[in-house]
Chain A
Amino acid sequence: MSKRFMSIWFRHLLTDWHVRRQPALQHMPFVLAAPVHGRMIITSASPAAEAQGIRTSMPLADAKAIVSSLQAFDDEPERGAQLLKALGEWCIRYTPVVGIDLPDSLILDVSGCTHLWGGERPYLKELITKLRAIGYDVRGAMADTIGTAWAVARYGKITPIIDSGEQADALMRLPPAALRLEEDILARLQKLGLYQIGSFMNMPQSVLRRRFGQPLLIRLGQALGYETEAIAPLYPVPPYEERLPCLEPIRTAPGIEIALKVLLEQLCLRLQKEGKGLRTAVLKGYRVDNRMVQTEIGTSRASHHPEHLFRLFELKIPTIEPALGIELFTLEASKVEDVASEQEVLWIGNPGLKAPAVAELLDRLAGKIGEDSIRRYLPAEHYWPERSIQQATSLEEKPATAWRTDKPRPVQLLSKPEPVEVTAPIPDYPPMLFRYKGKLHEIRKADGPERIEREWWLEKDGGEHRDYYTVEDTEGQRYWLFRSGHYSGNQSQWFIHGFFA
């Protein structure tokens, strides 16, 4: 049996998507634009805009000169592929083999599927009507080859269904662009006056190869059917979800634990086979009284380790309220990532922060006390003490610069410097004594000053620079004091900022 292919061309894929989201745009001229070499170039235009002469690859400024009321939206480069993928997955109800043909069409292998809809014509009509009803302006065509289906979908004027073996006739009157050719080959054909495929279709192959190269022959062959062409079909990923209906409603914590263990084992088995691990999982319990209870966990790195995941859920089990009983459990991994396969024990030598045990510990802690109470710091290139550290975003993040040890820094730093009373008779000398929390400290030894200028480009409210002194009192206790601003006799403001070891 010969193969049959169907090509669906979305004439305004991206603009139709915008109209679906904002129905008000239906009859308004609008375009999507993206920056190219510093200016905004139109990447797609709505039908209303096209009617007024706006084309793609036109600068946005020119288009606005033509239509002053033109609306422009930013083009997201990945959007088209995402849309086509979603539409392709929707089309799987019509045929098991659906492929994406970027930028704006789908290829369906409909061999042996059409009779279920009562023939090719009703099949095509059904599919096109459904897509148009969703809101996409589509054209479809069916033929023996992908090439012909593609050509007829875009350029065909007579009939969308090309009977088996009639490709040559169908292509005869179409322009060469219908063969999916490169821009320069098209220009050369145009130059030679070959405006229709029919004009060169029957020329000897050696002549065509010499003049236009191999690509033209391949494309021609693919359209006519003597070159094979394959499509990369879409495989929709079934959701990572497991269900466990219970014979008797579950009302106890041990019962929930057993259900959870069963579900986790099933889910982790599948994740292991596919080399994936879950980052977030939701356990839902459907109760007898038609209510639903759920609890959620998250991991800091993808995991498919049932025991570890169970320990995370175990902390949440007390929050599940079974009431009269839970009759159905579902466990869904809402976020799944690839997981690096674990090394053998032999290699676990100096794991440090990368040790799986540490990551699992942090998951447990984050599950109970919240993620924001777990912190890790990296050096930041600032002298101002409060700004000299920054919080790391992940366990893997490496410090960009080395930690500095050239200047003395206290072990304990007060989050806010506390004012102290000092006696400092000589400018730019450390104080002789200071009073902190009612206790008088007589200073024996001191180092400094280390002047730290404020970072006016970061701070909103201006302050003074700080002159830091490391001081040691008679008991050997070491402090970090600073004077805010310049010395001004008794008016100088002194603060304590830290304690040295």
Chain B
Amino acid sequence: MPAVKADIISQLQQDILRMQGFRSKLTDTVPDIDLGPVNTAFPNAIFPTGAVHEFLCAFREHAAAATGFVSALAGNLMQRGGACIWISVARTLFPPSLKTFGIEPDKVIFIDLQRIKDALWALEEALKCDGIAAVIAEIPEISFTQSRRLQLVVEQSKVTGFILRTSTRAASTTACVTRWKITPLSSELEDGIPGVGAPRWHVELLKVRNGRPGAWKMEWTDGKCVVIPDNATPVIVQEQQLKAG
């Protein structure tokens, strides 16, 4: 009975995905975050909420770009009215700018801490709390054990976490579901008008568990993240990184 066996295996795979925080099309018809072509990179073609995502931002400029992208994602999650918690060790975020990315800055609670240990504790506590739409943490470094704890927490609470890793050292392996790298791209205005246009990013999905990593050019226009078509086909990155997730 090979057909039955295949059924069972696919069912089990779906179960595993669900337990890890991925959602299936059957249970949620309306996804919170719709990134267009980027969706194909994720299992079930749905952006995994209820998971921890990490962003590599070694430089200030990259951190700014990642902040913009994360705010855009969190803004989508906050549409349902939840609050957002922003934990950081050395915060330079300017709250009024969040409004541009669809977040009401007064709905964000900032927690500014001195020590990484405290920040990680606060992050874990915040992720445990199911009344919250998104938790964003700016911390220099996170170890595998620490990220594993966070993953176990979000599997229970279904809160979405974003970690901005600001360390310049080579990133160590973590238990996060995805690893992103956002770098700024030069903006363009229509018809070559001089001046600075809408934010544009080179969005690299370096790792995604059970999905296909890729890279896209994206732009934030009219309150949406839009993929710029000329490089829409996902670039398959090295086999090595695929396995590491």
- Which A residues have a C-beta under 8 Å from some C-beta of B? 349-353, 355-358, 360-362, 364-365, 368-369, 373-379, 385, 388-389, 392, 398-399, 403-405, 408-415, 444-447, 470-472, 474-478, 498-501
Contacts and interface: CB of A to CB of B under 8 A. Distances in A.
Given A357-B132, A375-B112, 18 more contacts: A350-B82, A352-B82, A352-B107, A353-B109, A355-B132, A368-B118, A369-B111, A373-B112, A374-B110, A375-B109, A377-B95, A409-B94, A411-B64, A411-B68, A412-B93, A446-B195, A475-B184, A501-B199
Interface in B101-125: 101, 104-113, 118, 121-122, 125
B23 to A, nearest CB: 21
A365 B122 contact: yes
A353 B94 contact: no
Contact of B196 (A378, A379, A472, A499): A472
Given A368-B121, A412-B63, A477-B184, A374 B71 contact: no
B42 interface: no
Q: Which 10 A-B pairs have the closest CB atoms?
A: A501-B68, A350-B81, A357-B131, A476-B186, A355-B131, A413-B94, A499-B64, A477-B61, A403-B99, A361-B129
Contacts of B81: 349-352
A399 B128 CA distance: 28
B38 interface: no
A476 B187 contact: yes
B97 A472 contact: no
B15 interface: no
Nearest to A469: B196
Contact of B65 (A356, A360, A364, A501): A501
A474 to B, nearest CB: 7
B94 A385 contact: yes
A223 B218 CA distance: 87
Contacts of B107: 352-353
A369 B124 CA distance: 14
Contacts of B147: none
B92 A414 contact: yes
Interface of B: 60-61, 63-65, 67-69, 71, 80-83, 85, 92-97, 99-101, 104-113, 118, 121-122, 125-126, 128-132, 183-187, 194-197, 199-201, 220
Nearest to B186: A476
Contacts of A364: 125
A362 B107 CA distance: 14
B97 A409 contact: yes
B195 A445 contact: yes
A365 B199 contact: no
A471 B106 contact: no
A445 B194 contact: yes
Given A403-B99, A412-B93, A362 B60 contact: no
Contacts, number: 172
Nearest to A413: B94
B60 A499 contact: yes
B243 to A, nearest CB: 31
A292 B80 CA distance: 49
Contacts of B60: 412, 499
A243 B79 CA distance: 47
Nearest to B100: A405
A385 to B, nearest CB: 7
Contact of B186 (A352, A414, A445): A445
Contact of A377 (B67, B106, B187): B106
A369 B184 CA distance: 35
B184 A476 contact: yes
Contact of B110 (A357, A376, A403): A376
B196 A388 contact: no
Given A389-B96, A403-B96, A411-B67, A361 B186 contact: no
Contact of A447 (B111, B195, B199, B200): B195
B109 A501 contact: no
Nearest to B157: A357
Contacts of B200: 476
A358 B67 contact: no
A369 B64 contact: no
A404 B100 CA distance: 9
B199 A478 contact: yes
B64 A501 contact: yes
B94 A445 contact: no
Contacts of A361: 85, 125-126, 128-129, 131-132
Given A404-B96, A410-B97, A399 B184 contact: no
20 contacts: A350-B81, A353-B107, A357-B129, A358-B132, A362-B109, A365-B122, A365-B125, A375-B111, A376-B109, A404-B96, A411-B93, A415-B92, A445-B197, A446-B195, A471-B196, A478-B187, A498-B94, A501-B68, A501-B97, A501-B220
Given A378-B106, A403-B105, A411-B97, A358 B129 contact: yes
A355 B129 CA distance: 10
Contacts of B109: 353, 358, 362, 374-376
A358 B83 contact: yes
Nearest to A385: B94
Given A476-B186, A477-B184, A500 B96 contact: no
Contacts of A474: 186
Nearest to B119: A369
B104 A444 contact: no
A379 B96 contact: yes
A369 B100 CA distance: 31
Nearest to B199: A501
A477 B83 CA distance: 30
A223 B168 CA distance: 88
Nearest to A497: B94
A350 to B, nearest CB: 3
Given A375-B110, A412-B60, A501-B68, A475 B186 contact: yes
A169 to B, nearest CB: 72
A352 B110 contact: no
A388 B97 CA distance: 11
Nearest to A369: B118
B125 A478 contact: no
